Amino acid sequence: KIREASSGEDFVLRRPTRFGLGFQLTMPERPFGKSARSFGHFGAGGALGFADPEARLAFGYAMNAAGPRFRNPRVRGLLEAAAGAAH
């Protein structure tokens, strides 16, 4: 079972976050998948890895040039497309 190990403001990023043991947990403002059990990690420059156990979906994305630091529209579009394809 995936459990929250910590939550609160990230002191480096100055944003709210939730973590399990070694990965970020989905949040309404930054969802990984459609289910509350989805988890993953946003990486530097727009890299991303996530899984949604309920959808039986895992996804990884790395690019050859860094994108915007936060709220990369390409990453958000890929997340939405992957989650939509799984349901």
DSSP state letters, 25-57: EPBTTB-SSSSTT-EEEE-GGG-EEEEEGGGTE
Predicted TM-score (pTM) above 0.85: no
pLDDT in tens, 10-57: 888 788 999 999 999 999 888 888 889 999 998 877 788 999 999 898
Residue 75 in contact with residue 61, Cβ under 8 Å?
yes
Per domain, the residue ranges of the chain are 6-86
Count of Cβ atoms closer than 10 Å to residue 83 Cβ = 20
